[in-house]
Amino acid sequence: MNVPLTRDAAAPRVLIVDDTPGNLQVLAAILRPEGYRLSAAGSGSDALVAVAKAAPDLILMDVNMPGMDGFEACARLRADPTTAPIPVVFLTAQNDLEHLVRGFEAGGVDYLSKPFRTEELLARVRTHIELKRARDRLKLLSEQLGRYLSPPVYAALFRGERSAEITARSRDITVFFADIVSFTPRSEAMDPEALAAWLNNYLATMASVISRHGGTLDKFIGDAVMGFFGDPDSAGLSSDALACVHMAVEMRSRARDLGVQVRIGIASGPCTVGNFGSDQNMSYTAVGRVVNLASRLEGAAQAGQIVLASGTWERVRDHVHCSEGGLLRLKGIAQPEATFVVEEPSATADGDPVSFDTVT
């Protein structure tokens, strides 16, 4: 049964669950002047159906009803992640301690005893709707802010394992840089809108690959991508390095699907990782020789190459096929660096690519 109230689509929606028509009429008469959109259900099972059709901002739930009672209906709503955030206020004549405890254990947020005072009912309804909408706004804001952070960093912040303050620590990580070969001629041949659309698609694809392999996306630098493995989460030095190589191989493949070639440099070792900047504007990043080395290796790589520094090669040599790239003298790196180039995956007799080994 639906009780129409208002055509204002922005008005809060309240679902009244009660098997007594007189109680529904009384509650409608109280809530109607406040501008709430009302709907009604006569049992717990009917309430679940009504919520599935149109999620309300608040549920006023009776306890004793035919079939499924209010406690069970509330518990089922709480068990479903899509309906768990909806506040349920029990409205019943059963106000002894046992029923109060059962109501809160089922997931109710409040408990009003019949007969109730109109002013108290309206105040409770208004308060719980405002609280829900505040939580909804906070959830939306956190999701929007999360787009500016790498998923592992976002998760660590919300788990309380990291804080948004200027701090850093030494971590042994594997760093990678990747960029598009001959991007400037491509960009000059496209109009700005088409270029922006294509580049955003490319960067979104690369970000998806990094996330799938468990890496931390540090930043986009034009068409280049920087990231690392080993912080805030680490599977172990060898596993982190191998995951980075697997990611690089997939990035190379996905880039070719998009019609471009990439070059990638990877280096491993101790870095300083943390929040750098000011109290008002900071970024989570890694700095140190290994970061510079990975950047220089990317710049020295040929089209389609994935070039590993010797430190990374030592961590993955039992699981990845590479050819020697020789000693390279790199700008800003004091000593020549022995390099290794990840070979293209070979094919089996059936034409299927041979996968890399995994660290056990």
Does 194 share its domain with 124?
Answer: no
- The answer to pTM > 0.75 is no
Give the model's pLDDT for residue 349. 37
Ordered DSSP codes for 50-80: HHHHS--SEEEE-S--SSS-HHHHHHHHHHS
Same domain, 196 and 314: yes
* 14-23 pLDDT tens trace: 999 999 899 9
pLDDT above 70 for 278: no
pLDDT-derived band at 1 (thresholds 50, 70, 90) equals: very low
Residue 351 above 50 pLDDT?
no
Total tally of structural domains belonging to the chain: 2
Find the range with the poorest average confidence among 51-55, 166-170, 283-287, 290-294: 166-170
27: its two tokens: 């509650």
Q: 183 and 138: one domain? A: no
| Spatial strand order in the sheet of 88-92 | 2-3, 37-41, 13-17, 58-61, 88-92, 110-113
Q: Which of 36-45, 158-167, 228-237 has the lowest mean pLDDT?
A: 158-167
Q: What is the pLDDT of residue 357?
A: 41
* Structural domain contains residue 357: no
Residues 107 and 19 placed together within one structural domain of the fold: yes
Q: How far apart are CA 191 and CA 161, in angstroms?
A: 44
Which CATH number belongs to the domain containing residue 232 in this structure? 3.30.70.1230
User: What is the residue range of 328's domain?
Assistant: 167-342
For residue 6, the model assigns a pLDDT of: 44
Number of other residues whose CB lies within 10 A of the CB of residue 171: 18
